[in-house]
Amino acid sequence: MESNVVLLDCTLRDGGYNNDWCFGHDTLIGVFERIVSAGVDFLEVGFLDQRRPFDPDRSIFPDTASVAKVFGGLDRGRTKLVGMIDFGTCDISHVQPRAESCLDGIRVIFKKHLREPAMAFCRQLKDMGYIVFSQLVSITSYTDDELMDLIRLVNDVKPHAVSIVDTYGLLHKGNLFHYYEMLDRHVDRGVAVGYHSHNNFQLAYANSIELINRHRDRSRTLLCDGSLFGMGKGAGNAPIELLCMYMRDNFGKDYHVSQLLEAIDANIVPLYAKYHWGYSLKAFVAASNDCHPNYVSYLVDKKTLSIKSVNEILSRLQGDKKLLYDKDYIEQLYVDYQRHGCDDSAAYEGLRCLLNGRNVLVLGPGKTIVDERSSIVEHIAAKNPFVISINYIPDGFSVDAVFLTNSKRYNQQVSAITANAASIKLIATSNLTRTKGDFDFTLDYESLVDRSAVFMDNSFIMMLKVLLKAGVRDVALAGFDGYSSDRENYYASKMEYDFVKRLGSEINSYVDKVLPELGRRMSLKFLTTTVYRAI
């Protein structure tokens, strides 16, 4: 059966989000030649972005002339070559006329608020002879009225294709068909309809073949995107090898899938082992909340929230903010969520009574808890202190209380906390909710954080503020090693956080700044080795 469905491979462009487009020259050529040998209709060779210098190892180019330096002399067979421009990142002056370029076409991606100038740019490219693709980024952000306005612009410019771009993998079949039918019904018959999927819901391939089958008896061309092994931003794309196999087996298309498998084996599997794209918890949470994935990354990287809490914060995203990432906006939502104001005067009075006249030892999670255990044991034997650990119950030490500030750590420790509930006091900040019953002492979270800090809810500093407010004036400290980028920072590897490798020096500087201020009001003594300056 003759099919009016054509396929486009976007490995070298969308896949580049994983490795900053640094595939290496040999991989660029290897992927190119295998895609061409497979007979894929279109090959997207990368981004055109004037902000980036030419690099023969990368598939991101400052101008069309640079593309020819990598791919210009290669046999392209029947495959047409296209590049992509994120509207506003490559001026028309960086684009040669098609007759002087190795590219056959250019795809232009743009958000809906830029549709007027972006479609005008598409017209310029068309006038230069290019096959032009207008790519509707975040199609789910369009209302029907906005999409009809876009269709008006498309019918005026008449690009080669207009594409549904499911940027964040939000579409289920019914939603996809809604956008497809609107385009198919109203767009000029000479313009192809395209579909670029993402796999947040594991639907990229399924949606693609559902759309292909729905399109079966239509007259216009349908263009479906895919990539080798699904390589793409975040959750990745529909695997081009599966799309080619489906089109070969069901529509008689002459795609040579074995060539794609060779490319995957030789070029893509080594990249997958290093960068690992595809379906993930973050991708699912972002898609299930119809939001930009950076919001999820921002909250998860805090390492203070359970996934339940992340979902609750994301549910507060409003309107266009959902898909237009705004760091200040999500930071405020995080702060508002954590701010569970409470009257903690009775709790502090109870702590004053509990700690009255006692030496206090605070245990952190650093490796010196194990490496310098003898110093801690000697101190406990000599001083008989009230022992408080922070966000965990340490192995090998009896503690009198646990200070809890981090819901993720609390969830990790809940079984141990439950088992020791009769003998250990639980001191928690008001952003936490106990699985059953109440904490022994609940303290106002907002009064203990420092919004000006790189890590505003530093549990070590919060603990010292609590002890100061509870009237404690003599504190010994162990297991507060400070953060390093070139060693393990916690006594147990399961406690390790990636962000401390990136922000460790900033966190250390903050603690070094605050400790002397606290040290003027209470005696602080480190029992174990630390990077922090002597107080």
Contact call for residues 16 and 46 (beta carbons, < 8 A): yes
| pLDDT for 410 | 84
pLDDT of 427 higher than 80: yes
Q: Per residue in 207-221, pLDDT tens?
A: 999 999 999 989 999
pLDDT of 25 higher than 50: yes
pLDDT of 1 higher than 50: no
Mean pLDDT of 231-237: 95
Between the alpha carbon of residue 47 and those of residues 52, 107, 139, 232, the distances in Å are 10, 9, 20, 13
pLDDT of 342 higher than 60: yes
pLDDT band at 248 (very low <50, low <70, confident <90, very high): very high
Whose CA is closest to 347, among 276, 428, 287? 428
d(CA 360, CA 476): 6
| pLDDT for 482 | 87
360-363 sheet: strands from edge to edge: 441-443, 425-429, 401-404, 386-390, 360-363, 474-478, 523-526
| pLDDT for 433 | 80
The set of residues, in sequence order, having a beta carbon less than 8 Å from that of 520 and lying 6+ positions away, is: none
pLDDT band at 492 (very low <50, low <70, confident <90, very high): low
Whose CA is closest to 512, among 526, 497, 499? 526
Q: Tell me, what DSSP letter sits at residue 534?
A: P
Q: Which amino acid, residue 17?
A: Y
| pLDDT for 491 | 57
Mean pLDDT of 121-137: 98
| Residue with the two structure tokens 């000599």 | 382
pLDDT of 525 higher than 50: yes
DSSP string, 224-291: EEEBGGG--STT---BHHHHHHHHHHHH-----HHHHHHHIIIIIHHHHHHH--S--HHHHHHHHTTS
Instruction: Tell me how far apart the terminal alpha carbons of the chain are, to the nearest angstrom.
Output: 80
Q: Which amino acid, residue 169?
A: G
pLDDT band at 300 (very low <50, low <70, confident <90, very high): confident
Whose CA is closest to 496, among 413, 395, 409? 409
| pLDDT for 90 | 98
**Count, residues in the chain:** 535
pLDDT band at 490 (very low <50, low <70, confident <90, very high): low
Paired tokens of 119: 């479609």
Strand (E) positions, 324-424?
Answer: 360-363, 386-390, 401-404
What average pLDDT is seen over the chain?
92
Q: Please list the residues that pair with 43 across neighbouring strands.
A: 9, 81
Whose CA is closest to 88, among 126, 128, 116? 116
d(CA 296, CA 167): 15
d(CA 462, CA 351): 15
| pLDDT for 456 | 78
Q: Which domains does the chain have, with CATH numbers?
A: 5-275 (3.20.20.70), 281-338 (no CATH), 345-526 (no CATH)
Q: In terms of pLDDT, which residue wins out, 414 or 515? A: 515
| pLDDT for 137 | 96
| pLDDT for 498 | 55
| pLDDT for 340 | 67
What phi and psi, each to the nearest 5 degrees, are found at residue 442? Answer: -115, 125
| pLDDT for 489 | 60
| Percent over 70 (pLDDT), the chain | 95
Between the alpha carbon of residue 35 and those of residues 22, 23, 42, 232, 264, the distances in Å are 18, 15, 9, 16, 11
d(CA 193, CA 330): 35
| pLDDT for 416 | 83
| Residue with the two structure tokens 């990229």 | 204
pLDDT of 146 higher than 90: yes
| pLDDT for 487 | 63
| pLDDT for 494 | 53
Q: Please list the residues that pair with 239 across neighbouring strands.
A: 227
pLDDT band at 60 (very low <50, low <70, confident <90, very high): very high
Paired tokens of 444: 């106002």
Q: Tell me, what DSSP letter sits at residue 58?
A: B
Contact call for residues 508 and 482 (beta carbons, < 8 A): yes
Mean pLDDT of 294-317: 87
| pLDDT for 61 | 98
Q: Tell me, what DSSP letter sits at residue 121?
A: H
